[in-house]
Structure 1
Amino acid sequence: MEAEMPARRGWQIEPEEFLRNYDPIRCPKKTYLLYEIKWRKHGKMWRNWCTSSTSRHAEINALETIEEMQQQRTRTCHITWFLSWSPCGLCSRSIIEFLKAHPNVVLEIRVAQLFRPHDNRNRKGLRDLVNSGVQIFIMSPFDYYHCWRTFVAHRGRMDNCCFVPWHPLLWMLYNSSQLNQILNE
């Protein structure tokens, strides 16, 4: 008799989606954004995810959802985003405006890849985010492991092993170097 696999939770994505979109070597067709919100007052954690659509970027979709949750502007929270692509210049501006309207929100962004890193608007957007207090990092092997264990509905597959994409480790290092160069311009 086979063991019953745990059901997928609404805030989890399928393993294939994660592997396809968060691989730092591949170019995902759309942006995925996994996020955690920790409310400081109660210590509760809330998780969800969204993607880009034909009309809106994933960052805008996430900000709209978070806006609905921020009914009381005095509620302090720490938000961590795990993005398949870094924000574009336009999304960076929207994020900054959101943070200005919600000064009690702390945002940390971890990305698998840099989106069009040679585009000056995207480079400036990343610097502006950092100058507005946002922390931006390239996803580390620990981040991949955390996302796999937390956001992926693996239903026991690879549950007992550490999911770390060792084969693209050089790409992670390259992306980190590129991000540091952009932020230090």
Structure 2
Amino acid sequence: MEAEDFLETFNPSGEPEVTYLLYEIQWGNSRRVWRNWCRSIHPEHAEMIFLENEEIHDRPHIPCNITWFLTWTPCGACAHDIIEFLDERPNVTLDIRASQLYRPHDRRNRRGLRYLAEEGVQISIMDLSDYDYCWDTFVDHQGEMVQWDFSDEIWFNSQRLQSILNPF
């Protein structure tokens, strides 16, 4: 993806209109990792575009580990569809790392995140090492170096996510 798009949409204090989903898939015992990205195209969310990818559906019985780096955490409706996808594929593990929380005051979104966690999905807020990794792995940055200044936002979003996942 373009450096400008990454810097704009993965800023944890921004409010991007487009959601990017950077992903890695490791099939079976292979050491090879398949990497790519997609983005939301109104009205379809990035998560749904990923789940509709034919290559994901071509190998339903092969175990795989999927890691997503998302602009936002999934909304409640996407969480439901992600759980449905995972229920059909018990050999799939999913790790979601998001830049920030999507409408965290909406109870459907909070409930969706809790359901994902209850179903075994790892959900976290991207840390500085995730930003470095995405920058080096997914971004066409032409050798440009970036100094991230997101520590406060990361801490705040991480605390907020934990209060959603563990409300009591």
Category of TM-score, reference length = shorter chain: over 0.9
Task: Quote the residue 1:61 is aligned against.
Answer: 49
TM-score, length of structure 2 as denominator length: 0.96
CA distance in 2, matches of 1:84, 1:72: 27
C-alpha distance after superposition, 1:141-174 (max 9, x if no partner): 000000000000012222xxxx4412x2101100
Task: Quote the residue 2:148 is aligned against.
Answer: 165
C-alpha distance after superposition, 1:42-98 (max 9, x if no partner): 221001111111120000001111x53342322111000000000000000000000
Amino acid at match of 1:122: N
Q: CA RMSD in A?
A: 1.1
CA distance in 1, matches of 2:120, 2:137: 26
- Please say if residues 89 and 124 of structure 1, whose CA atoms lie closer than 8 Å, have aligned partners that are also in contact: yes
Larger Cα Rg: Structure 1 or Structure 2?
Answer: 1
Write out aligned runs for 1:62-77 (5 A).
Answer: 62-65=50-53, 67-77=54-64
CA distance in 2, matches of 1:57, 1:132: 21
**In the alignment, does 2:32 pair up with 1:14?**
no
**In the alignment, does 2:102 pair up with 1:115?**
yes
**In the alignment, does 2:115 pair up with 1:128?**
yes
C-alpha distance after superposition, 1:105-127 (max 9, x if no partner): 10000000100000000000000
**In the alignment, does 2:130 pair up with 1:143?**
yes
- The one of 32, 39, 46 equivalent to 2:34 is 46
- The one of 148, 154, 159 equivalent to 1:177 is 159
Unaligned runs of 5+ in 2: none
TM-score, length of structure 1 as denominator length: 0.87
Unaligned runs of 5+ in 1: 1-12
CA distance in 2, matches of 1:80, 1:114: 17
Amino acid at match of 2:156: Y
